[in-house]
């Protein structure tokens, strides 16, 4: 097959391209090469030279049509994701581009056999909780007044009996609390509903926190693996937000690639949405200790910084049963992910000011806040 990957110069896209090439497919990449993810707006050296490259914006009709012509399948991985308060950009990049793909397929009668779109665990928000009586609860955003007082756990609302307990959350839940997650819900709906309407097999993939090499060193959105690894690389302790006991769902990049290929090849995936996660709850403190071990930091004990990021989820764990039913399962560990990231990061020779620049940006945006502040 000839396969288009939008955002294919990026982290997940480039690894998916490598796997497709290894299976004998031809790959075309469409990417805008946006700063700060792509320094200097240059094509990254890790892209295989056999890949056909098109530079452009997925929202531009002429560019997107040129990229779609002659391909058999599409991975739509291009996305805007950041802490910047550019709310309309989340929807124009993530949703409008998706609608445009289907518009062009239908209008131009393009014989595309499958469209796979990248959604996000952010669509779940805090995910599913249960109260002490077993009733299902879908919490909203935690109150900043509670966070400033160091109250981290989700508090029961009217008619709910505490304490609340987080649950592994399946694909039936949609409760996003930020613009990125909201845009991903809209993107999922556009892809699956337009796909069904016009007979274009479509799949939506809700990725959890994907970790591994090629994850941008320069994007403030890139999470704990980048921040913690850079911190230990330059010899300082990472900043641990809240109390370090918040639960996260980390998944290895190669497990995500396996999932991407699985839904391409398996017709049972058509018109479905899948969580793609690590199938294991890991606290932020536990993850920091893994990174410390990989970087050879003996005797490290994670300590809370007295800071928090407003808008963060407290606990989140995706239920991946639906994807496992197709024969997929996560096979790599958190240690595998961090080791691979460390090996790649050391070749990229990052400078210490990357962390300082990110910290200043997050503070200026009011995302990072202090307890009692």
Spell out the domains of the chain, with CATH numbers in brackets: 2-370 (3.40.50.720)
Q: Name the residue among 325, 26, 6, 34 with its Cα closest to residue 191.
A: 6
Q: Is the pLDDT of residue 173 over 80?
A: yes
Q: Compute the distance between CA of residue 298 and CA of residue 275 in angstroms, rounded to an integer.
A: 35
Report residue 87's pLDDT band, with 50, 70 and 90 as the boundaries: confident
Q: pLDDT at position 358, please?
A: 65
Q: What distance in Å separates the CA atoms of residue 286 and residue 278, rounded to the nearest whole number?
A: 15
Confidence band (pLDDT; 50, 70, 90) for 353?
A: low
pLDDT of 83 above 80: no
Minimum mean pLDDT range among 218-232, 294-308, 332-346: 218-232
Q: Which residue has the higher pLDDT, 143 or 38?
A: 143
Rg of the Cα atoms in the chain: 20
Which residues sit opposite 276 in a β-bridge? 207
In degrees and rounded to multiples of 5, residue 185 shows phi and psi of: -60, -45
Residue 59 has pLDDT above 80, yes or no: yes
Burial 307-337 (b: 16+ CB within 10 A, else e): bbeeebbbbbbbbbebbeebebebebebebb
Instruction: Identify the band that residue 221 occupies on the pLDDT scale cut at 50, 70 and 90.
Output: low
> Bridge-partner residues for 54, per DSSP?
30
Mean pLDDT, the chain, integer = 93
CA distance 205 to 122: 12
CB atoms within 10 A of CB 256: 26
Mean pLDDT, to the nearest integer, of 325-347?
A: 95
C-beta atoms surrounding 80 within 10 Å: 19
Average pLDDT over residues 301-306: 94
Mark 38-57 as b/e (b = at least 16 C-beta within 10 Å).
Answer: beeeeeeeebeeebeeeebb
Strand-pair partners of 275: 206
Element holding 74 (H helix, E strand): strand 73-76
Nearest alpha carbon to residue 318 among 172, 122, 169, 175:
169
Share of the chain above pLDDT 70, in %: 93
Q: Is the pTM of this model over 0.85?
A: yes
Q: Which residues pair with 53 in a beta bridge?
A: 29
Lowest mean pLDDT among 197-211, 325-339, 342-356: 342-356
């Amino acid at each position: 097959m000839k396969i288009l990957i939008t955002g294919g110069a990026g982290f997940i896209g480039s690894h998916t391209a490598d796997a497709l090439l290894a299976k004998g497919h031809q790959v075309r990449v469409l990417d805008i090469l946006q700063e700060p993810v792509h320094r200097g707006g240059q094509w990254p050296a890790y892209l295989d030279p056999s890949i056909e490259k098109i530079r452009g914006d997925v929202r531009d009709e002429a560019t997107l049509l040129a990229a779609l012509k002659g391909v058999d399948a599409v991975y739509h991985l291009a996305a805007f994701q950041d802490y910047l308060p550019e709310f309309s950009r989340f929807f124009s990049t993530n949703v409008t581009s998706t609608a445009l793909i289907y518009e062009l397929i239908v209008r131009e009668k393009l014989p595309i056999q499958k469209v796979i779109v990248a959604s996000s665990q952010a669509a779940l928000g805090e995910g599913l909780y249960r109260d002490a009586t077993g009733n299902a609860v879908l919490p909203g955003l935690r109150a900043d007044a509670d966070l400033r007082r160091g109250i981290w756990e989700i508090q029961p609302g009217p008619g709910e009996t505490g304490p609340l307990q987080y649950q592994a959350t399946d694909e039936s839940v949609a409760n996003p609390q930020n613009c990125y997650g909201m845009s991903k819900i809209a993107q999922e709906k556009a892809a699956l509903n337009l796909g069904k309407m016009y007979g274009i097999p479509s799949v939506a993939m809700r990725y959890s926190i994907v970790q591994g090499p090629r994850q941008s060193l320069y994007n403030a959105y890139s999470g704990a693996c980048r921040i913690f690894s850079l911190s230990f690389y330059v010899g300082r302790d990472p900043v641990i937000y809240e109390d370090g006991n918040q639960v996260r769902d980390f998944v290895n990049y190669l497990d995500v690639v396996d999932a991407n290929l699985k839904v391409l090849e398996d017709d049972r995936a058509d018109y479905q949405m899948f969580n793609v996660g690590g199938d294991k709850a890991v606290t932020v403190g536990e993850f920091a200790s893994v990174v410390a071990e990989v970087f050879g930091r003996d005797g490290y004990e994670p300590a809370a910084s007295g800071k928090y990021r407003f808008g963060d989820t407290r606990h989140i764990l995706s239920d991946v049963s639906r994807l496992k039913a197709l024969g997929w399962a996560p096979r790599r560990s958190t240690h595998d992910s961090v080791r691979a990231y460390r090996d790649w990061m050391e070749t990229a020779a990052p400078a210490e000011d990357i962390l300082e620049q990110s910290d200043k940006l997050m503070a200026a945006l009011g995302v990072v806040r202090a307890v009692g502040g």
